[in-house]
Amino acid sequence: MPSQLTKKQQNTVAFNDEITKRRTFAIISHPDAGKTTLTEKLLLFGGAIHVAGAVKSNKIRKTATSDWMDIEKQRGISVATSVMGFNYNDYKINILDTPGHQDFAEDTYRTLTAVDSVIIVVDVAKGVETQTRKLMEVCRMRNTPVIIFVNKLDREGRDPFDILDELEQELKISVRPLTWPINIGARFKGVYNIYEQSLDLFKPDKQHVTERVEIDDINSPEIDRQVGADDAQKLREDIELVEGVYPDFEVNDYLEAQVAPVFFGSALNTFGVKELLDCFIKIAPSPKPVQAIERKVEPSEDKFTGFVFKIQANMDPNHRSCIAFVKICSGVFHRNSTYLHVRSGKTYRFSAPTAFMAQRKDVVDEAFPGDVIGLPDSGSIFKIGDTLTEGENLHFKGLPSFSPEMFKYIENNDPMKTKQLNKGIAQLMDEGVAQLFVNQFNNRKIVGTVGQLQFEVIQYRLLHEYNAQCRWEPISLYKACWIESEDQEAFEAFKHRKHQFMAVDTEGRDVFLADSGYVLQMAQQDFPKIKFHFTSEF
């Protein structure tokens, strides 16, 4: 074999090297577990930001980097997924910070289709909460590797062993601690890094990293000097118990989503975060193959493919355009190259693709598998789930819209602003914030959401981003079901019988709006030839 590599071989090696360097993951949790704070501290280590924003107090102007919408800053919660990329130790890290609030869970579910692994943040005092359970189910469905960060160790909380038992029980996954806390709350002194065999001492500081003490092993007298004989003895007993109860950590078990490594720390005080990040870049998966309907797409393929998993309107309030977030699955995306938009069959050239640092955007010339880029969309080209390729007809799957649980009529409060309202509703619905149905009987517009808070967000954003005022009117509905049938006669008979409850969605698909569980059950019984779907992906 010749020692000189050809130009093509060199390019292939360089391309594969770029893929291996990529780590694309989401941070998920129940609201208030400290997810956005952890994101900020990871960015601090990547040099992407130089001072952390205080997230907790709404009075402080310097709010979290990843929460850029006005309404997020006012309420101190995340309502949209933020994408942030940075370099750390020769790795390219792409973080997707997701909303924790259950009213925005759908945004999070879709985001989980675009990542290769997940970090779950758990509050040491509250343990596993409802939203965390649901999100773990989505990870399990997709076989996504998970790392758990137990946060807020500087506050009083539960015993670490109790937390580990609860994680196994509630999240239905084996766990393996890779760091271990020395005390908790006011007596918290730091963590012992089992993975690296080092000691990290805790000093409360929101801006700087605390010191690390290199030690040979757990019996080192240095530990006694640093934390005191009693705590050192307790630590050794705990570690002996950990090693006795939990099997040795195997990276493959983690990659196959069989085991979740557990880290302890305090994101607010930048403690335990570097240990998490250092271990994460070593063990987390680089971009994985993605299943399309037609075939499996490998990241190392020459030709570019990618899909839209999120659309965000008005990231720049001065320009009323949308940004489509595209996850690159294979090949290299080049600026100014022409790509096929599979759904429409048209080709487009993108002159200003962007990489993200929350709201700050930089134009990129190329991007690799695992990267997330933003494509400006001023003409409503994109919808969630769209595929871009170099010509192949591919359809990536797994981006459903779920049947909404709350419904209201949306009415125009200012007839002079009809155009602005219609544009605002169209763009916000394309984002997947909520779903719009038009009642066939009275032509009124109905907005369906999974939570009450979304109605407030829509009203707020229509007013502040589109200068349009809407009001909500009550409607009593139980569920929206997409319907289809191979028997056209039966289909028409159903629509005729239920004409008062028939609507169409933004795609023009027929939707049955059942006003009670009983009505839905009877409809399913009386019309056996009709298929009722509770997600829009069928």
Residue pair 87/23 in contact (Cβ under 8 Å)? The answer is: no
CATH code for the domain defined by 406-533: 3.30.70.3280
- The tens-digit pLDDT sequence of the chain (538 residues) is 445 678 777 788 889 999 999 999 988 887 778 877 888 888 887 765 544 443 333 322 334 444 444 544 454 444 344 677 888 888 998 888 665 444 445 666 777 888 999 999 999 998 888 778 877 887 887 889 999 999 999 889 899 999 999 999 999 999 999 999 998 888 888 888 888 888 888 876 555 555 677 777 788 888 888 888 888 899 999 999 999 999 899 999 999 999 999 999 998 888 888 888 989 999 999 999 988 889 999 999 999 999 988 877 655 555 556 788 899 999 999 999 999 999 889 999 998 888 865 445 678 888 999 998 888 877 678 888 889 999 899 988 756 566 777 899 999 988 898 999 998 888 788 777 788 999 988 999 999 887 777 788 788 888 888 889 999 999 999 989 999 999 999 999 999 999 899 999 888 889 999 989 899 999 999 999 999 988 766 4
- Burial (CB count within 10 angstroms: exposed 0-12, middle 13-18, buried 19+), residue 387: buried
Q: Give dist(CA 326, CA 294) in Å, integer.
A: 19
Sign of the CA dihedral running 208, 214, 218, 219: negative
* Domain 290-389 grouped into CATH 3.40.50.300: yes
Domain ranges of the chain: 7-283, 290-389, 406-533
Q: 452-466 and 418-430 are packed helices; what angle lies between their axes, rounded to 10 degrees?
A: 130
DSSP H or E stretch at residue 28: strand 22-29
Strand ranges for 416-498 from DSSP E: 435-439, 445-449, 470-474, 479-484
Taking the C-alpha atoms of residue 27 and residue 33, their distance in angstroms, rounded to an integer, is: 11
Q: For helices 160-171 and 130-142, give the axis angle rounded to 10 degrees.
A: 60
What DSSP character marks residue 501?
A: G
Rounded-to-integer distance, Cα 356 and Cα 82, Å: 9
Which homologous superfamily is 7-283 in?
P-loop containing nucleotide triphosphate hydrolases (3.40.50.300)
Q: 3-class SS at 445?
A: strand
Check for a shared fold between 7-283 and 290-389.
yes
Sign of CA dihedral 169, 171, 175, 181: negative
Q: Give the separation between CA 173 and CA 133, rounded to whole angstroms.
A: 11
Cα 441 to Cα 501: distance, rounded to the nearest angstrom? 7
